[in-house]
Amino acid sequence: MSAVTQSSVPDVFDTPAVTSLRRRTIGLLSTAQILSGLAAGSVVSVGSLMAVKLAGSDAWAGSVTTASTLGAALSSLALARLAASRGRRISLVTGLALASLGAISIILSSVLSSFLLLLVGGALMGVGSAANLQARFAATDLSTSHTRARDLALVVWMSTAGAVTGPNLIRLGAPLSHLTGLPELGAVFLFPVLGMVAAMLVMWFGLRPDPLLMSRTLVGDDALGQARTHVPISVAFTTLRRHPAALAALSGILVSHAVMVAVMSMTPVQMAGHGASITLVGLTVSLHIAGMYALSPVMGILADKLGAPTVLVGGLGVVIVSTALTGMSGGSTMVVTIGLILLGLGWSASTVAGSSIVAATVTGVERVAVQGLSDSLMSLAGAGGGALAGVALATMGYSGLSIAGGLLAVAGIIAFWLLSRLRVAAPEAAA
């Protein structure tokens, strides 16, 4: 267990000066997460409704979520390379700038009734999601082994305010539509545009010194890091295979994320089909997102105290319970809402614990590349979940989709257990 929860972090990170810098960095990253979090909830709650309206079929309901997660997957490695060569600040600002252009594209898609522009906008907003994913690893650049999960979880937690507010901005769509002349659903995306730009400014002016570049200087590998800024993806895969603990953690992250995206993205369509108002849909998604982020610090503390593997498996167990509830919900808004809240809590536990394992296990110059690969695969898992969810909803219904998600979570626990045994058995084999 110690190989997962502890690491040989240099004592230089425990100095008062570094502690002060770490707290300042986490504060800046958290502020940016609050502002950019407006986009995440809007894409889920409004994007699926726009897709159905423009495409004319429920089968396309998950298309915007899929485009967003594909955009995140394709950009995660590129942003990781940019971070390795230029630092976290340049990487995060670039991702947020592209995401703001994506929100503008979605607004234009509503004006021009263009499904293609809607998908392009969703993909570009996915780049912002990749930046937000990278931010949680940026929070650990200056962390000690005793604060890593907590520091990571704090930045994830600060997404709560923006992400929960985002879906509820739907109710302001009508007033904004009257004020600006934009279509009601498109007008909602004015808020993500403003949020992304504000977050970008916070990162550009505030994130100095850069935490990643500073950590390299402190541990004395700055010269080596600069010489290996462009770590090939093949090396990232090889590095991940050399660390079964990280591979096991990643398997849990991927399963949890795929199930979460699949069920969450189809819930607005399911609720609308049962006559729920758009305001109620926004509230339900907000409560789900609150489940994802609000207790992140608790998950981080539990991971530091009880062990990240225990928290990760527990999170997958909660995901199984949540899909059982959504699968049996029928037309009950209350049961769906409870299921979605639990789905968010399970995702939170699995993602925080799994990410802390990856951050603790892989060190050295390949670290940023492996983190980028982890984010990319996570987004691809979400894209697959979102893409298949629409088809599953059209063919098996919401209950069938939920059952499939629960079975996948069971498989995730089994995969984690098997890979963890490889990790335990490795030293004996070597001996």
Cβ contacts of 428 within 8 Å, gap of 6 or more = none
Residue with tokens 């008062």: 16
Q: Which residues of 372-385 are buried (b: 16+ CB within 10 A; e: fewer)?
A: bbbbbbbbbbbbbb
Virtual torsion, Cα 309, 311, 251, 268, nearest 10 deg = 180
Extents of the domains making up the chain? 7-424
Task: Answer for the pair 192, 173: CB distance below 8 angstroms, yes or no.
Answer: no
Give residue 193's Cα distance to chain centre. 19
Architecture of the domain delimited by 7-424: Up-down Bundle (1.20)
- Considering only CA atoms, give the Rg of the chain: 21
Confidence of residue 429 (pLDDT cuts 50, 70, 90): very low
What's the chain's average pLDDT? Answer: 83
End-to-end CA distance of the chain: 19
Cβ contacts of 269 within 8 Å, gap of 6 or more = 48, 49, 52, 58, 61, 393
Cβ contacts of 343 within 8 Å, gap of 6 or more = 259, 260, 263, 264, 288, 291, 318, 319, 322, 323, 326
Q: pTM for this one? A: 0.74
Share of the chain above pLDDT 90, in %: 35
Task: Answer for the pair 405, 263: CB distance below 8 angstroms, yes or no.
Answer: yes
**What tens digit of pLDDT does each residue of 297-351 get?**
899 889 988 989 999 999 999 999 999 999 998 878 899 999 999 999 999 999 9
Q: 170 in helix, strand or coil?
A: helix
User: DSSP letters of 304-316?
Assistant: HHH-HHHHHHHHH
What are the backbone angles phi and psi of residue 233, rounded to the nearest 5°?
-65, -30
**What tens digit of pLDDT does each residue of 248-291 get?**
999 999 999 999 989 988 888 888 777 777 778 878 887 888 88
**What tens digit of pLDDT does each residue of 349-408 get?**
999 999 999 888 887 667 788 888 888 898 888 878 877 888 888 889 899 999 999 999
